[in-house]
Chains A and B, each alone.
Chain A
Amino acid sequence: MSAGLLETVASQPAPAPAPEASGALETQRARFEWLLGLADDRLILGHRLSEWCGHAPILEEELALANIALDLIGQAQMLFELAAETEGAGRSADALAFLRDSRDFRNMLLVEQPNGDFAFTIVRQFLFDAWDLPQLEALCASRYKDLAGFAAKACKEARYHLRHSHGWLLRLGGGTQESNRRTQAALDELWRFTPELFLTPVLPSMSSTSDASEAHFQETVRAALSEADLTLPDAAPFPALRGRAGLHSEHLGHLLAEMQVLQRSYPGAKW
């Protein structure tokens, strides 16, 4: 790690509190942070999926995971542009992606979890996709036109993503004893991160529909698990850490070190 990176880390200001109280007066900062959360989920999950490049179990999955990664990173870029515009501080999408430190990232803990084996990656992806698609469908009706435009585009991609992760969940769950065991283990490990998916209220300026999405998510998950011969883990405890508030597991720091090393070492580098 370069000295430049350490200095930058040390000089980061303390993160502002995440938008919490519903009904509180919506501030520009709250809108910025909310958009950032949506963007960071995609950037971090996209980066995680890109780590499979050259390591996927079969060629078709090599293509699929890289394609989904590309979609998510592209979606993140669009959202970073909206967030930067909302913040109005002249930061670019690249600055938001590459020049923030772990405490300033607003992604949920689920997406930063390391890839594990293929079953682990698929379960992580399925939980994200099952949450993401109904959310995007609701955002298509947002009064915030640019966000609705983003959602209309992202929806089309998210349908493919869910079809992919859902299809694999069924194949792995209903496959061999070993594939079922690994998929169940992944589910048992990842389930504790799911309460965070519904912890942050949607801002009224962002979406007109309030959270009917949790029921939708539970329904998608239950149906898929029973079809895949998998067992829903016990109710997850309230999370101690909060990705949306900038409180991350140690995994995010390692991911950022790798993802940001170029811009941190050679600020403004282009090709």
Chain B
Amino acid sequence: MNAAGTRSRAIAKLRTVMDPELPMLNIVELGLLREVEVEEDGLHITLTPTYSGCPAIETIVAETRRVLADLGPVSLRIAHAPPWTTDWITEDARRKLRAAGIAPPAGRVAQPEAVRCPRCDATASEQVSAFGSTACKSLWRCANCDEPFELLKLI
């Protein structure tokens, strides 16, 4: 198979690697997968973790290796620079988050927007806690429908 074919097969496989803490999203749409290169000595994969201490990264690395096992040798690099940003989350992934009851990041880093309740879409929300169940989320409550929800922090 040629390099382009191997690359697209690898990416298709990587779309099956889900983030264990946001299981509705795969690592491609979450923006964790930064590079896929096909070299003579095998596949070179670069991943960028969301937060420095993200405990999900070990599982993601193991799962990445597992799904790519039949594509030959894989060298995997964890790159911290440039740092991960929620701007890398795709539109499709933002819809999936909302459908799962998690508010996607409000806008882009350079252009923040009002936080919207993932249930009733109202913008009248208040932050309950800047820190949530995982490093990437904060806790909010909707002033319109009264429901609590999690928000992916804009970062």
Interface residues, chain A, CB within 8 Å of chain B? Answer: 46, 60, 63-64, 66-75, 77-78, 145-146, 148-150, 152-154, 156-157, 160, 163-164
The count of chain B contact residues (Cβ–Cβ below 8 Å) is 22
Interface residues of B in 117-155 (CB under 8 A from A): 128-135, 139, 153, 155
Q: Which residues of B contact A77 (CB under 8 A)?
A: 52-53
A/B interface sample: 6 pairs, CB < 8 A: A70-B55, A71-B135, A77-B53, A157-B52, A160-B153, A164-B130
Query: Contact flags (1/0) for B81-96 with A, using CB distance below 8 Å?
Result: 1111000000000000
CB-contact partner of A67 in B80, B128, B135, B155, under 8 A: B135
CB-contact partner of B132 in A63, A70, A164, under 8 A: A63
Quick check: A63 and B131 within 8 Å, CB to CB? yes
Bound complex: CA of A147 vs CA of B51, how far in Å?
A: 16
Main secondary structure of the interface of A (DSSP, over half): helix
Q: Which residue of B lies closest to A153 (CB)?
A: B83
Q: Which residue of A lies closest to B57 (CB)?
A: A74
Q: Which residue of B lies closest to A65 (CB)?
A: B131
Q: Nearest Cβ distance between residue A236 and chain B, in whole angstroms?
A: 31
Quick check: B52 and A78 within 8 Å, CB to CB? yes
Quick check: A64 and B129 within 8 Å, CB to CB? yes
Quick check: B131 and A164 within 8 Å, CB to CB? yes
User: Do A73 and B80 contact each other (CB < 8 Å), given the known contacts A63-B129, A64-B130, A64-B131?
Assistant: no
Q: Which residues of A contact B132 (CB under 8 A)?
A: 63, 67
Q: Which residues of A contact B83 (CB under 8 A)?
A: 149, 152-153, 156
Q: Nearest Cβ distance between residue A133 and chain B, in whole angstroms?
A: 15
Quick check: B53 and A71 within 8 Å, CB to CB? yes
Q: Which residues of A contact B131 (CB under 8 A)?
A: 60, 63-64, 66-68, 160, 164
